């Protein structure tokens, strides 16, 4: 059986899959139309939430939180609620939402509509990152227009009594807006600074109203699950990590690309799909889930399967399934310096440990690579990272600490060598 592209990308080999005609021809909007018709009463909101819970779908934006459970947190009170889609894709290494927006925008629109219905939201916003302005925004905006023209969105859709309006939003460049409460702030027209939690968005979200924020890939998975059932979805993946996920494989790899595969695919098989390590080189390390996840040396990742449990067991995480492949010969000190510069540049500045700590990390790494490192610097790096971790209001702080901790843990001798040899790399 072909394992590739079974759920989110099931229709992307059709002609012009981004058009509504193509999407409908491949069975799209069936799930949403069944809800709108709702003849046998089997499509009540609570049934939809139950199907998603049973399917085991977890948030694909990085945290892996169970989607159905998140939906069930929404209060039942009769008040304006919102569903918000997080298309602010910006975790380094990750680029699958970009393909969903371009190639399969209707799956996303249908997924947002279904999610909105399930949680009692009559309005949805799709927050698209600003840099996608010319490439991804037009296709998703065009798809939205088509959905309205086909009478699939709006007020009292098809005399169903169901209201659902969806709007696309455009950001303006800030990694932190991928954090769900930072995103809500940004959607309100403010600086994207994450909120203190609790209250969580389910109770106090957009404009203070109950809100659920889900990632693009998560929502684009929903229509196929509702249409084919949770059992079908669970035929892919492992018992604890059911379904498929889109791996963005980048770095030192022959065929970088987005590969939708069942969770639990062996690491070596994923590398085979991606054409092997670039120019036949030897694998050195992998960052398995975006730059915020811990690096794993080749001898550890080679025995892993690509799912939540296996990577956690190996000391890292699946994150966004952005697999950054690093070949022998790469200087891990320079790579970590680049990662740390990213967190320094993108810290929103609210929490002192993160605002100050990310700058410390970057400056120490900068002086090590410039040949001015001190022997005590390695201990200092870990110390600073440990003081950021767990001491900020959002996960960004942890994300800035984990690369530092793991790079130094696994490649300590490279850092030591560079300090001793005044900036000379051991890797080359």
Partner 1 sequence: MSLLNREIKEEIDLWVQKFPEGKQRSAIIAALHSVQHFNNGFLTSELMNEVAEYLDVPKIQVFEVASFYSMFNTQPVGKHEISVCTNISCMLRGSDQIVDHIEKRLQIKSGESTADGNIFLKKEEECLAACTGAPMLMLDHQYIENLDIKKVDEILDLLEKNNE
Q: How far is the CB of 55 from partner 1 (least distance, A)?
A: 27
Looking at the Cβ atoms of 230 and 244, the one nearer to partner 1 is 244
Pattern 239-268, partner 1, x by CB under 8 A = ---------xxxxx---xxx----------
Q: Is 204 in the site for partner 1 (CB under 8 A)?
A: no
How many residues belong to the chain?
Answer: 428
Q: Is 207 in the site for partner 1 (CB under 8 A)?
A: yes
Count the site residues for partner 1 by CB under 8 A.
Answer: 55
Q: How far is the CB of 251 from partner 1 (least distance, A)?
A: 4
Q: Is 92 in the site for partner 1 (CB under 8 A)?
A: yes
By CB under 8 A, the residues from 136 to 195 that bind partner 1 are 167, 169-175, 186-192
**Residue selected from 338, 355, 367, 426 as contacting partner 1 according to rule CB under 8 A:** 338
Q: Is 91 in the site for partner 1 (CB under 8 A)?
A: yes
β-partners of residue 258 are 248
Q: How far is the CB of 174 from partner 1 (least distance, A)?
A: 5
Q: Is 90 in the site for partner 1 (CB under 8 A)?
A: yes
**Residue selected from 21, 54, 131, 398 as contacting partner 1 according to rule CB under 8 A:** 131
Looking at the Cβ atoms of 305 and 330, the one nearer to partner 1 is 330
**Residue selected from 55, 104, 211, 291 as contacting partner 1 according to rule CB under 8 A:** 291
Q: Is 326 in the site for partner 1 (CB under 8 A)?
A: yes
**Interacting residues with partner 1 (CB under 8 A):** 80, 89-95, 97-98, 125, 129-135, 167, 169-175, 186-192, 207, 248-252, 256-258, 287, 291, 322, 324-326, 330, 335, 338-339, 342, 345-346
């Amino acid at each position: 059986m072909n394992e590739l592209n079974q759920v989110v990308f099931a229709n992307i080999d059709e002609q012009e899959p981004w058009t509504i005609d193509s999407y409908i021809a491949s069975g799209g909007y069936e799930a949403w139309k069944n809800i709108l018709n709702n003849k046998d009463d089997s499509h009540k909101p609570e049934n939809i939430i139950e199907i998603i819970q049973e399917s085991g779908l977890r948030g694909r934006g990085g945290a892996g939180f169970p989607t159905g459970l998140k939906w069930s947190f929404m209060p039942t009170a009769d008040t304006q609620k919102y569903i918000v889609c997080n298309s602010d894709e910006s975790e380094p290494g990750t680029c699958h939402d970009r393909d969903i927006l371009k190639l399969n925008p209707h799956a996303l629109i249908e997924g947002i509509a279904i999610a909105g219905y399930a949680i009692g939201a009559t309005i949805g916003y799709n927050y698209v990152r600003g840099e996608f302005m010319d490439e991804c925004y037009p296709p998703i905006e065009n798809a939205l227009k088509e959905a309205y023209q086909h009478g699939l969105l709006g007020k009292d859709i098809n005399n169903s009594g169901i209201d659902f309006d969806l709007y696309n939003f455009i950001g303006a460049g800030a990694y932190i807006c991928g954090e769900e409460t930072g995103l809500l702030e940004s959607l309100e027209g403010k600086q994207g600074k994450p909120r203190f939690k609790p209250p969580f968005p389910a109770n106090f979200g957009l404009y203070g109203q109950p809100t659920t924020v889900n990632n693009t890939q998560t929502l684009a998975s929903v229509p196929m699950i509702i249409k084919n059932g949770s059992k079908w979805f669970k035929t892919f993946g492992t018992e604890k990590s059911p379904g498929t996920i889109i791996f963005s494989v980048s770095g030192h790899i022959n065929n970088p690309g987005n590969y939708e595969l069942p969770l639990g695919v062996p690491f070596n098989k994923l590398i085979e799909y991606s054409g092997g390590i670039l120019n036949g080189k030897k694998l050195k390390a992998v960052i398995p889930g975006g730059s915020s996840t811990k690096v794993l040396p080749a001898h550890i990742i080679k025995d892993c399967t690509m799912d939540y449990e296996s990577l956690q067991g190996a000391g890292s995480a699946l994150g966004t399934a952005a697999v950054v492949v690093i070949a022998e010969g790469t200087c891990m000190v320079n790579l970590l310096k680049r990662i740390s510069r990213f967190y320094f540049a993108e810290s929103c500045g609210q929490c002192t440990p993160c605002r100050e700590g990310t700058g410390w990390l970057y400056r120490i790494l900068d002086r090590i690579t410039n040949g001015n490192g001190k022997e005590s610097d390695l201990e200092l790096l870990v110390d600073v990272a440990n003081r950021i971790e767990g001491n900020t209001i959002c996960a960004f702080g942890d994300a800035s600490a984990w690369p530092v901790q793991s790079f130094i843990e696994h490649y300590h001798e490279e850092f030591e060598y560079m300090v001793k040899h005044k900036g000379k790399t051991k890797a080359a």
